[in-house]
Structures are given as C-alpha cells and as structure tokens.
Amino acid sequence: MSLRLILMRHAKSSWGDPTQDDHQRPLNGRGRRSAEAIGNWLRAENIMPDQMLVSSAARTKETSERLDMEAEKTVLDALYLASPGIMLEILKRASGQCVLMLGHNPGTAWLARDLVAKPPQHPRFADYPTCATLVVDFDIAQWDDLKPGTGTVVDFVTPRELDGT
C-alpha cells in the first residue's frame, strides 16, 4: 500500500498594502491564475487529494479555494510559517490516502528536500517558488509510519511551466 503527498507552497501574494498584516495578505492576479493552473494540472494528471491540510493564512486559504478540489479541507493555524518538523508532525496525523499540504517557505521547501529519497532534476526545486507543487509517493500504510528520505518523486511543477505566469 502507498500514500501520496501533494506538497504545495501558496500562490503569489499581494504586497499592495504595506500596512496589512502578513497573515491577511491575499493573492495577487498572478497568484490567482497560478493556483487555477495548478488545480487544472492536478485534475488533468488525475492527482486528486482526498484530504487538504491548509495554513490559516489568507493567501493559503485562497490558493486552496482556487485549486477547486473536492476534498476534506482542514485549516490549521499550526501550518502558518511552520518549520518542516511541525509540518511533518501534522502530516503524520493525516488520514487521507492522497493528502495535499499547503504551506509557506522556507518550511515547505525544507520539508520537500527532507522527504524525498532523490530530489527531482528541476532547477527550481531547491528554492520552491510560489505555487510550486511536489507529488511524492511513500510505500507506507499509514502516515504515522512516514520517515524522512523515503519518498519517491512522481512530479514537481511550477505554474510558469503551465501557464507562463
């Protein structure tokens, strides 16, 4: 049996209001288009989560909405700017067969690096740009058995590859 993780960084956010609290920043136009493009790509590749774990920040919640996925969604304050260790702890409590985790950098990039046995040959994997998405499989029956360095990369994609944004 295997489990699948879709590990995604939020789409590009707006810096239009310098007085706005970081947690409340929405997506900008490019971010909205990018999230929709990634959602379309996931559907086209038949990579459909049954559970979504989403940071409570406005930009991550908006990204999840624009993906337009039919999945149980849990919004978690603990994922806001979370370290890879916290993200791993949260993932180990997941219940879905295919889980989409939506967070922030640097935690998302570091978790991606830590989870895979062999990183993808992609020039943007190390810096994990906005809305970058890693699909990784684990040969485990439950998330609690997850160990770093055991994931097999299925794909890694950035929105620029899909829609030029």
Question: Mean pLDDT across the chain, nearest whole number?
Answer: 96
Contact 132, 160 (CB under 8 A): no
What are the strands, taking DSSP E only, across 1-149? 3-9, 51-55, 72-76, 98-103, 133-138
Q: Rg of the chain's alpha carbons, rounded to an integer?
A: 15
Whether the pLDDT of residue 150 is over 70: the answer is yes
Average of per-residue pLDDT across 76-84: 98
Superfamily for domain range 3-163: Phosphoglycerate mutase-like (3.40.50.1240)
**Beta-strand pair 98-103/72-76:** unpaired
Confidence of residue 108 (pLDDT cuts 50, 70, 90): very high
Q: Domain boundaries in the chain?
A: 3-163
For residue 22, the one-letter residue type is: D
What pLDDT shows up at residue 163?
66
